[in-house]
Amino acid sequence: MSDFVAILACVCLGVVLAVLCMLVGAWVGFKTKTAAPGERFFGGVPRGEVYSIPDALDALDEPGEEEKSVLQKTERFLSVLGGKG
Protein backbone atom coordinates (compact mmCIF):
# COMPACT_ATOMS: atom_id res chain seq x y z
CA MET A 1 0.00 0.00 0.00
CA SER A 2 2.86 2.42 0.72
CA ASP A 3 4.22 1.94 -2.83
CA PHE A 4 0.86 3.01 -4.20
CA VAL A 5 0.83 6.14 -2.02
CA ALA A 6 4.39 7.05 -3.07
CA ILE A 7 3.55 6.63 -6.76
CA LEU A 8 0.33 8.64 -6.35
CA ALA A 9 2.25 11.41 -4.53
CA CYS A 10 4.86 11.56 -7.31
CA VAL A 11 2.19 11.73 -10.00
CA CYS A 12 0.33 14.49 -8.13
CA LEU A 13 3.55 16.41 -7.66
CA GLY A 14 4.29 16.11 -11.37
CA VAL A 15 0.81 17.37 -12.27
CA VAL A 16 1.16 20.34 -9.91
CA LEU A 17 4.56 21.22 -11.38
CA ALA A 18 3.21 20.93 -14.94
CA VAL A 19 0.27 23.21 -14.18
CA LEU A 20 2.56 25.70 -12.44
CA CYS A 21 4.95 25.75 -15.42
CA MET A 22 2.01 26.24 -17.80
CA LEU A 23 0.73 29.21 -15.77
CA VAL A 24 4.17 30.84 -15.59
CA GLY A 25 4.64 30.36 -19.35
CA ALA A 26 1.22 31.88 -20.06
CA TRP A 27 2.06 34.86 -17.85
CA VAL A 28 5.41 35.39 -19.61
CA GLY A 29 3.69 35.20 -23.01
CA PHE A 30 1.06 37.70 -21.90
CA LYS A 31 3.71 40.12 -20.59
CA THR A 32 5.68 40.00 -23.83
CA LYS A 33 2.63 40.50 -26.05
CA THR A 34 1.19 43.44 -24.09
CA ALA A 35 4.44 45.28 -23.35
CA ALA A 36 4.51 48.98 -24.18
CA PRO A 37 7.58 50.45 -25.88
CA GLY A 38 10.24 51.16 -23.28
CA GLU A 39 8.55 49.01 -20.66
CA ARG A 40 10.73 46.80 -18.51
CA PHE A 41 9.75 43.18 -18.01
CA PHE A 42 9.31 43.68 -14.26
CA GLY A 43 8.19 47.02 -12.90
CA GLY A 44 6.40 48.69 -15.80
CA VAL A 45 7.38 51.84 -17.63
CA PRO A 46 10.26 53.76 -16.02
CA ARG A 47 9.24 57.11 -14.61
CA GLY A 48 11.15 60.34 -14.94
CA GLU A 49 11.96 62.99 -17.45
CA VAL A 50 12.85 62.14 -21.01
CA TYR A 51 16.25 63.34 -22.12
CA SER A 52 18.35 62.97 -25.21
CA ILE A 53 22.06 62.36 -25.40
CA PRO A 54 23.89 64.46 -27.97
CA ASP A 55 25.54 62.19 -30.48
CA ALA A 56 28.57 62.55 -32.69
CA LEU A 57 26.46 63.27 -35.78
CA ASP A 58 25.84 66.81 -34.54
CA ALA A 59 29.53 67.69 -34.98
CA LEU A 60 30.03 66.22 -38.48
CA ASP A 61 29.47 69.43 -40.42
CA GLU A 62 33.12 70.34 -41.01
CA PRO A 63 36.03 67.87 -40.87
CA GLY A 64 38.79 68.62 -38.38
CA GLU A 65 42.51 68.84 -39.04
CA GLU A 66 43.06 65.20 -38.13
CA GLU A 67 40.34 64.09 -40.52
CA LYS A 68 41.78 66.21 -43.32
CA SER A 69 45.23 64.66 -42.91
CA VAL A 70 43.75 61.16 -42.89
CA LEU A 71 41.76 61.95 -46.04
CA GLN A 72 44.90 63.26 -47.79
CA LYS A 73 46.87 60.14 -46.85
CA THR A 74 44.01 57.93 -47.99
CA GLU A 75 43.77 59.70 -51.34
CA ARG A 76 47.53 59.37 -51.81
CA PHE A 77 47.41 55.66 -50.94
CA LEU A 78 44.50 54.99 -53.27
CA SER A 79 46.17 56.86 -56.11
CA VAL A 80 49.31 54.71 -55.69
CA LEU A 81 47.19 51.58 -55.41
CA GLY A 82 45.22 52.53 -58.51
CA GLY A 83 48.37 53.12 -60.59
CA LYS A 84 48.05 56.89 -60.87
CA GLY A 85 51.13 57.74 -58.79
Domain ranges, ordered by start, for the chain? 1-34
Kind plus residue range of the DSSP H or E element containing 3: helix 2-33
Q: Are 46 and 38 in contact (CB under 8 A)?
A: yes
Residue-level pLDDT, tens digit, the chain, 85 residues: 789 999 999 999 999 999 999 999 999 888 887 777 767 776 666 666 666 776 766 666 677 788 889 989 988 888 888 766 5
Please tell me the distance from the alpha carbon of residue 77 to that of residue 63, in angstroms, as a whole number: 19
Nearest to 74, CA basis, from 62, 59, 63: 63
pTM score, whole prediction: 0.45
